Amino acid sequence: MKITIYSKDIYTYGAMLIGGILKETHKHSIKLTKDITNKKLFLKSDIVILSLYSTLNIIDPVIKETIDYLKSKNIKIYVAGPVSAYPEIILNELNVDGVILGEGELTTPEIINGSKTGLAYLENGEIIINKPKSKPDLDFSKIYVPKDIAAQNVRGANVYIETHRGCLGHCTFCQVPEFFGRDIRSKPIELIIEEVKELKKSGVNRIAISGGTGSLYNFKNTVNKNKFIEMIENVSNIIGKQNLSVPDMRVDYVDEEVLNAIKNYSIGWVFYGIESGSDRLLNSMKKGTNSKKNLKAIELAKDCGVKVAGSFIVGHPKEKEVDFLLTKDFIVDAELDDVFVSAAEPIPKTELCNEVLNTKVDENPTFISHNGPYRRYGLKENEARAYDLMLHSEMWKSNPRVITTNLSKVYLDEAKMQGSDIRKATELIFKYRDFLI
């Protein structure tokens, strides 16, 4: 059977993994593309799988138009990926045959052969949801590697590989625990090694390890430092430390041994999800940490010779002016090596989504007009805070940058784009409030 998998913007690990399983294990003819406008390729397919990762993908007009065109040609279409957590929205917005729910390694081949286990679909106007019976073990090693994978750049890497799934956190804005569960499932080291060798053979020269929190690899009641270090040492020996990053870490799952391993076997950066300098807001987000612990983890990393980037969320419905000012103070104290700022996004079926749905529009920073120092730009409050924090962060990094006119415009455009995207996502969840509350 001819199957084309569409992966928006980048070749995601999930799309490559499903492609590899369908090709190597089930002997289907597979094509993987990032080009939604390649209708000739889609028309040669028996089945098209759209691997989508964002709420905004669902309302993308180009994706919608392509789906409608392919359905007029009787092409069978399924949606998969992280958006499958809210099939009710997909099936109302997109004219597709079904939604492959959750982790699709076990169910996708069966669905292609006619099974409805793990599939959500419309039947006589009613949404039918058949949840998967179980979560897969991570014993898949053969991924489908596109020929142009080496040209891809995802936060500095050609590709992110998966070493484990699951997260122990309860962050209200995140869908990972709901999607993958809170039990940590890890891929055997030998399969990770096999995968990295295959990627290197295909031209990949920069790899990042994903999984939400890298040090949770082989977690068994506590961080398994020996297994984590063994894993990144093996990957580093294949790809080279200058080509490996293990960026995403929680501050409560690092110590000196973990950080020294990151320094010795990778490019030597960690990326902490700090989110706010306000303990009140961190508690509301259920981060399980506080500003003191965050600063301590930053200092420890620096003492180990590891550079630290931090991510921050602004425009949270419960963020007050004092919370935002505390975040600015934290950035001054932390002197981070890099900073990433995001406007709060209400991903459907997260706790943050419920908070937004229960917040009056005229009290939500996503829709409140900014009347402060940036009012001449016509910003919403979340956009103004994002812009302000981006500028502020540049002045307090370990290596500060001069705020030029061009740099200011880059950040202003980024803040406006984020604001526009979040408004669209918020309007969508209000449209489907009855499914989400």
Taking the CA atoms of 410, 415, 418 and 420 in sequence, report the sign of the dihedral they define. Answer: negative
Backbone angles phi, psi at 196, to 5 degrees: -65, -40
Output the CATH code of domain 2-129: 3.40.50.280
Residue type, 379: L
- Residues forming CATH 3.40.50.280 domain(s) in the chain: 2-129
- Assigned token pair, 99: 């939604």
Residues 283 and 171: their CA atoms lie apart, in Å, by 9
Q: What is the pLDDT along the chain (437 residues), one digit of tens a residue?
A: 999 999 999 999 999 999 999 999 889 999 999 999 999 999 999 999 999 999 999 999 999 999 999 999 999 999 999 999 999 999 999 999 999 999 999 999 999 999 999 999 999 999 999 999 989 989 876 899 999 999 999 988 999 999 999 999 999 999 999 899 999 999 999 999 999 999 999 999 999 998 679 999 999 889 999 999 999 999 999 999 999 999 899 999 999 999 999 999 999 999 999 999 999 999 999 999 999 999 999 999 999 999 999 999 999 999 999 999 999 999 999 999 999 999 999 999 999 999 999 999 999 999 999 999 999 999 999 999 999 999 999 999 999 999 999 999 999 999 999 999 999 999 999 999 999 98
In terms of DSSP bridges, do strands 119-123 and 126-129 run parallel, antiparallel, or are they unpaired? Answer: antiparallel
Residues near 29 by beta carbon (within 8 Å), at least 6 away in sequence: 1, 2, 3, 23
- Cβ neighbours of residue 425 closer than 8 Å, sequence gap 6 or more: 55, 56, 345, 346, 347
C-alpha neighbours within 13 Å on the C-beta side of residue 178: 17
Phi, psi of 391 (to 5 degrees): -65, -45
Domain 149-436: CATH superfamily, name plus number: tm_1862 like domain (3.80.30.20)
CA angle 310, 303, 162 (to 5 degrees): 50
Give every strand in the sheet of 248-249, ordered side by side: 248-249, 269-275, 307-314, 338-343
Environment class of residue 362 by beta-carbon count within 10 Å: exposed (0-12), middle (13-18) or buried (19+)?
Answer: exposed
> What are the tens digits of pLDDT across the range 167-226?
999 999 999 998 999 999 999 999 999 999 999 999 999 999 986 799 999 998 899 999
Quick one: tokens of 221? 């009641």
